[in-house]
Chains A and B, each alone.
Chain A
Amino acid sequence: MAETADAAEQIIDESERLRANVYALLARFLARPPDQATLAEAAGWAGDDTDFGKAVSRLAKSAAGADPKTVKEEYEALFIGIGRGELLPYGSYYLTGFLNEKPLARVRQSLRELGVERDPANKDPEDHIAALLDVMVGLILGTFRGGADLAAQKQFFDDHIEPWADYFFKDLEKAKTADLFKALGSVGRAFMAIENTAFEMA
């Protein structure tokens, strides 16, 4: 074969694409306040009877009734605040009690090994939950070098997400300043459980 494999042409199984979708949706809600378009999209989702589906339905219902300005305030209260939000969605914080700790160094090391550079416009540490979820999208779709490698996904998930993400999503479900984001927490928890189980089948 003369040409090198183009990641965009790699055949990704539909069920794997669906995982990437969910990671992308979680990342979108957590990276910045969800905008009108995102809320409108979420409002259209119809969950089925699974734990995940029921959580999605709750999120859709919240999104349908949501005013983007209010959601922005909710996001800021949760994650920004004055100095800090109610929650600190960083691996270092959940794993050590402090920001910018060894878990962040380990994420950076993994990113180096993957040959991945962070968009320099983004100032947030790479162990922010949205950043980690974003990496999973890239790993699943094969946009980083090495293509769509399930073992690499499992490695990254086990090293940097699994140890703390469920605790974070649980905190989100219970957060005082959360409303719509409670439902997002539920979606996150349900999805993390699915990922854990599915990786065992890899």
Chain B
Amino acid sequence: MSKRDKDGTSNRRDFLKLAGLGTVAGGAALVSGVKPAKADGLRADGSQGYRETEHVKTYYKLARF
């Protein structure tokens, strides 16, 4: 990794940490409230819910020309 890349990444991380995003976390509570997809691909957080499906991927792969 070049020095420039490394500095760019740590600037982003530092910026995000200083931006106050943790104020909605309240410790571990909210982080654990955002879960990766369950095994069936449906999201657990109760919002709109996207999923990735095999048949969809296949369809769009075949449709490409």
The residue on A at minimum CB distance from B46 is A28
Q: Which residues on B sit within 8 Å (CB–CB) of A133?
A: 47
Min distance, Cβ A85 to any Cβ of chain B, angstroms: 17
The residue on B at minimum CB distance from A187 is B24
The residue on A at minimum CB distance from B55 is A117
A-B interface pairs (CB < 8 A), number: 144
Q: Which residues on B sit within 8 Å (CB–CB) of A31?
A: 47-48
Q: In the complex the two chains form, is B48's CB within 8 Å of A134's CB? A: yes
Q: Which residues on B sit within 8 Å (CB–CB) of A113?
A: 60
How many residues belonging to A are interface residues under a CB distance threshold of 8 Å? 59
Q: In the complex the two chains form, is A24's CB within 8 Å of B33's CB? A: yes
Q: In the complex the two chains form, is B50's CB within 8 Å of A117's CB? A: yes
Q: Is the interface of A mostly helix, strand, loop or mixed?
A: helix
Q: Interface digits, B26-65 against A, CB 8 Å rule (1 contact, 0 not)? A: 1001110110110000110111111111001100100000
Residues 1-45 (chain B) with a chain A CB within 8 angstroms: 8, 11-13, 15-26, 29-31, 33-34, 36-37, 42-43, 45
Q: Which residues on B sit within 8 Å (CB–CB) of A8?
A: 36-37
Assess A15 versus B52: contact at CB under 8 Å? Given A28-B47, A197-B15.
no
Q: In the complex the two chains form, is B49's CB within 8 Å of A119's CB? A: yes
Q: In the complex the two chains form, is B50's CB within 8 Å of A13's CB? A: no
Assess A202 versus B8: contact at CB under 8 Å? Given A45-B23, A48-B23, A115-B57.
yes
Assess A18 versus B22: contact at CB under 8 Å? Given A24-B33, A24-B45, A143-B36.
yes
Q: Which of B15, B20, B45, B56 makes the CB contact (< 8 A) with A137?
A: B45
Q: Which residues on A sit within 8 Å (CB–CB) of B22?
A: 18
Q: Interface digits, A52-94 against B, CB 8 Å rule (1 contact, 0 not)? A: 1100110000000000000000000000000000000000000
Give the interface of B toward A (CB within 8 A): 8, 11-13, 15-26, 29-31, 33-34, 36-37, 42-43, 45-53, 56-57, 60
Task: Supply 7 A–B pairs (Cβ within 8 Å), ascending by A.
Answer: A31-B47, A112-B60, A116-B50, A134-B43, A144-B52, A198-B16, A201-B15
- Known pairs A138-B50, A198-B12 / 5 extra A-B pairs, C-beta < 8 Å: A13-B13, A20-B34, A137-B47, A138-B37, A197-B15
